[in-house]
Structure 1
């Protein structure tokens, strides 16, 4: 392995497996938490823990321009991108959410092209192949999404993809401080949205609700989100967002094993096409 290939492979593994399982964790969490409140507490907790650790290591504070950039990216990616997915999962299953989020690479490629990043023919081919896999999964799935839930998921994908494309152009803190500030800003933005929507915690969540929250904060936010920002800084946007083609596979498998969802022949075929698209997207001669 080259010196920088190992962290890239580890980051891709974290996104493919951990983020694939967060759809299941969100589905458990929204049974006990209001959606925006859960997402806000998740990101505020994760960002504060990471910020405290970085300050313990004597990392410098970001300047105003970097904080403003982190607030913008935090609004587009964790707040809009993840917040709307969390709200959508009160109406649709985790598998449906993961399937729709697979359109993120398509949005990201379009936004990146608008911002001046060239797109190779191989990347277009991989995205088309991945989209065909999603179509197969939808034909074989027995999961129904409400129109409002579908709209929330599409808006979430667009927000996340725009933030991903802008991440190379917007000033932001250096290194892991970027993740910490971005998540803290997103947490505050989501909690403000929760207050404006009148969300209320009617009862203290049971152990399952707290475990879902902690898993989302520690693994889904601190580890996987930091890995995503690392990939955005070191690889092409289409590869960084290729997790969206693997996450549905993980989400559907978890739903099948833990929620009793049925997966037929067409679904398995769709998963095979999706994995093939990821291989094509990441392939180097």
Structure 2
């Protein structure tokens, strides 16, 4: 009786945490779009990640002292490089692109990240399974169709920017499992967010962005606060808890649920138009991603393995790379193996 009750409670907690990851990371695309209505895109990301990094770092110091940040220079450098790739050039480009394309289109194109990771594996002479390659071809066919249809209905520039951001996010996720990283994943995420935030500050000011506090609307402030607290901190905590309490095959479903959530929220809240071409192209991408993840995850995955999310940073195993997604924050996507947001 007690065992059944405990099992039921554990199951409810798992599905509750999974729902948080589904909705929170899917909603970060909407949050970014609202934030950049009156805050320059790159500097809005800088504000988000610097604040989130300071909050997370402060919590770690209060709880474990400086020992939590014990790392070598090489590990610090590794986390810093991953932070620049995931957050500065990955998440930063998501924010820039959403000035030109819909949040739903952005999320669907970011969903191509697992496909790029398979391409990188081929480049380092790994040999994915034949069905994995089939999934990659299907997924990229969807990316091509979505890019062409999106360019007609939106901005070619925005599509090019989001694809560049997705590529950077993929490189950062791929590297995070192959370079020295801090042993404490929360400390790694803190470094990634702070360095990524500084990188966004430098990049934003370099291209002429300036923050006019008087011009920022209450709506954008609210969205920014949501991205910091809910997107980067609560979403990250829920994801990290799931890694130790749920099968990776279940956790990795966020890779194709997040874009669906983003499309629905964009249509409901921002009245974004969802065309038949976008639906078909997006569905093809998600089918390709689902095929790649299911094949790479074949067998009975162990609970606690890390599927990764763009914007994270913890080393993962070879099979985990297939679903390291997601501009966040994003990502959404708190990076390679843990998340600092989309």
For this structure pair, what is the TM-score category when the shorter chain's length is used for normalisation?
A: 0.7 to 0.9
Q: 2:256 aligns with which of 245, 249, 256?
A: 245
Q: Distance in 2 between matches of 1:77 and 1:33?
A: 21
Q: Is 1:254 paired with 2:255?
A: no
Matched residue, 1:153: 162
Q: 1:100 aligns with which of 96, 103, 109?
A: 109
Question: Equivalent residue of 1:43, what SS?
Answer: helix
For residues 119-198 of structure 1, the aligned pairs below 5 Å read 119-131=128-140, 144-173=153-182, 174-198=184-208
Q: Distance in 1 between matches of 2:194 and 2:56?
A: 9
Judged with a 3 Å threshold, the aligned counterparts in structure 2 of structure 1 residues 189 and 104 are, in CA distance, closer, same or farther, namely: same
Judged with a 3 Å threshold, the aligned counterparts in structure 2 of structure 1 residues 182 and 138 are, in CA distance, closer, same or farther, namely: closer
Q: Distance in 2 between matches of 1:80 and 1:142?
A: 22
Q: Distance in 2 between matches of 1:226 and 1:116?
A: 35
Judged with a 3 Å threshold, the aligned counterparts in structure 2 of structure 1 residues 141 and 253 are, in CA distance, closer, same or farther, namely: farther
Q: Is 1:207 paired with 2:213?
A: no
Question: Equivalent residue of 2:209, what SS?
Answer: coil
What displacement does 1:263 show? Answer: 3.6
Q: Tell whether the 8 Å contact from 2:102 to 2:272 is kept in structure 1 after alignment.
A: no
Matched residue, 1:53: 59
Q: Distance in 2 between matches of 1:11 and 1:74?
A: 25
Q: 1:68 aligns with which of 64, 71, 77?
A: 77
Q: 1:33 aligns with which of 34, 39, 44?
A: 39
The one-character-per-residue Cα deviations of 1:236-283 (angstroms, maximum 9, x if unpaired) are x99988745333321211122112234456655566555555554444
Q: Tell whether the 8 Å contact from 2:242 to 2:251 is kept in structure 1 after alignment.
A: yes
Question: Equivalent residue of 2:178, what SS?
Answer: coil
| Structure 2 length-normalised TM | 0.69
Q: Tell whether the 8 Å contact from 1:167 to 1:232 is kept in structure 2 after alignment.
A: no
Matched residue, 1:21: 27
Q: Distance in 1 between matches of 2:266 and 2:149?
A: 15
Q: Tell whether the 8 Å contact from 1:69 to 1:172 is kept in structure 2 after alignment.
A: yes
The one-character-per-residue Cα deviations of 1:95-152 (angstroms, maximum 9, x if unpaired) are 2211221221121211233345542334334444444555676687797332322221
Judged with a 3 Å threshold, the aligned counterparts in structure 2 of structure 1 residues 189 and 265 are, in CA distance, closer, same or farther, namely: closer
Question: Which moved further from structure 2: 106-115 or 84-93?
Answer: 106-115
Question: Equivalent residue of 1:57, what SS?
Answer: helix
**Unmatched 5+ stretches in structure 1:** none
Question: Which moved further from structure 2: 74-83 or 223-232?
Answer: 223-232
RCO greater where, 1 or 2, for CA within 8 Å and sep 6 or more? 1
Q: Distance in 2 between matches of 1:9 and 1:281?
A: 23
For residues 81-92 of structure 1, the aligned pairs below 5 Å read 81-92=90-101
Q: Distance in 2 between matches of 1:182 and 1:224?
A: 16
Judged with a 3 Å threshold, the aligned counterparts in structure 2 of structure 1 residues 274 and 153 are, in CA distance, closer, same or farther, namely: closer
Judged with a 3 Å threshold, the aligned counterparts in structure 2 of structure 1 residues 62 and 187 are, in CA distance, closer, same or farther, namely: farther
Question: Which moved further from structure 2: 164-173 or 39-48?
Answer: 164-173
Q: Distance in 2 between matches of 1:202 and 1:250?
A: 32
Q: 1:78 aligns with which of 70, 87, 90?
A: 87
Judged with a 3 Å threshold, the aligned counterparts in structure 2 of structure 1 residues 69 and 273 are, in CA distance, closer, same or farther, namely: same
